[in-house]
Copies of this chain bind each other. A is one copy, B any other.
């Protein structure tokens, strides 16, 4: 390999797994991270279920296990001097960009965190775009967006663009976005900014609108205890399926928000790392901005709860599904049909959710049960302070 791939946010849940997967595949990988995810844990009194090593220990362990070197640059994308220096030194062939505040509940905690989320994500990404333009204009930007950018429209969700027939004319236009948190909005802002940068400067970008990721591991992560990935189960950073499995392991209620009819796209962490690699191996042309919807299956929240409950029961546990007042402003039953063929066309072979995967996740919860703090699971961050208003708004939208 010649020029390296920068993995921005390479110390995070998806970023660390991706860094190792790309390194194992023979790519020269440089992790760029400000370690803010670890700082959030400290500030919020939460922690990853799995004990993770420092980034320096991780990099050293990977070199011992694989004999491959990971570059490491500690710094903040919002610091132009830092990012310009990194891009100027490495002149990357590609940039995988995970480096954003990625929790919707975090962004809904208070005004300060709402503004932090939008400023951090939007300005960081703008700096990446300017750095690409200045130092690596032919590099491929693989940006992590979210399926949550689309919201829950009453028509099929396409991959980034939609052909619209209107008053006898037709155009292919950006798919309308209806995000449901200050965090999801930051991703929509990014998508618009990246689209413009491609048109303006001829940059090339793949915007991966990713679904909800579940799973704790990939083959690369299993080579050494110091390589273990972080695993979040709390109400702020935990995603729904992972959280249900930990709840089942610990005898905690499976916390379904409201009716649980919220349907979303999901994928295994093992497919995440493969999707990133497929995007990298098949770059878009100069000036092209493309969107891939990155998920493999749709589930409703209550369906997932039942799946976890069934598996847990077979394991001899006594899981209980409980419906909590929904802290979010969202529809609890709605149409949902989202296209996700681009990555399949490029060769993705999905690893669909099976009992074995659910059982493995429950076993993670059992193994690390002494590290859990049940108080961090229960939803306390409300989208509206007045839940009556939230119910009314959600009802009005149905």
Contacts and interface: CB of A to CB of B under 8 A. Distances in A.
A200 B155 contact: no
Interface stretch (A172-180, A223-231, A317-325): A172-180
Contacts of A199: 329, 393, 397
Contacts of A189: 122, 185, 188-189, 192
Interface in A348-371: none
Interface stretch (A35-43, A58-66, A110-118, A293-301): A110-118
Interface in A174-205: 174-182, 185, 188-189, 192-193, 195-196, 199-202
Contact of A193 (B126, B130, B185, B397): B185
B123 A115 contact: yes
A247 to B, nearest CB: 28
Contact of A153 (B119, B173, B177, B329): B173
A164 interface: yes
A287 B122 contact: no
B126 A169 contact: no
A153 B178 contact: no
A389 interface: yes
B156 A167 contact: yes
A265 to B, nearest CB: 18
Contact of A169 (B111, B154, B169, B185): B154
Q: How large is the interface on A (under 10, 10 to 19, 20 to 34, 35 or more residues)?
A: 35 or more
A383 interface: yes
B178 A155 contact: no
A314 interface: no
- Counting every copy of the chain, the complex holds 2
A301 to B, nearest CB: 20
A197 to B, nearest CB: 9
Contacts of A80: 111
A88 interface: no
A56 interface: no
Contacts of A114: 126, 130
A239 to B, nearest CB: 21
Given A130-B111, A155-B169, A174-B176, A384 B201 contact: yes
Contacts of A126: 111, 114-115, 118, 182
Interface in A114-170: 114-115, 118-119, 122-123, 126-127, 130, 153-156, 162, 164-167, 169-170
A202 B390 CA distance: 9
Contacts of A177: 174, 192
Interface string A283-321: 000010000000000000000000000000000000000
A199 B397 CA distance: 9
A287 B393 contact: yes
Contacts of A200: 329, 383-384, 393
A192 to B, nearest CB: 6
A89 interface: no
Given A111-B130, A122-B122, A155 B162 contact: no
16 contacts: A80-B111, A111-B126, A115-B123, A118-B126, A118-B193, A119-B122, A119-B123, A162-B166, A164-B176, A165-B165, A174-B178, A177-B192, A185-B196, A202-B389, A287-B393, A287-B396
Interface of A: 80, 111, 114-115, 118-119, 122-123, 126-127, 130, 153-156, 162, 164-167, 169-171, 173-182, 185, 188-189, 192-193, 195-196, 199-202, 287, 329, 335, 383-384, 389, 393, 396-397
Given A165-B165, A174-B177, 11 more contacts: A119-B123, A126-B182, A154-B169, A156-B169, A164-B164, A175-B176, A185-B192, A185-B196, A199-B393, A199-B397, A202-B389
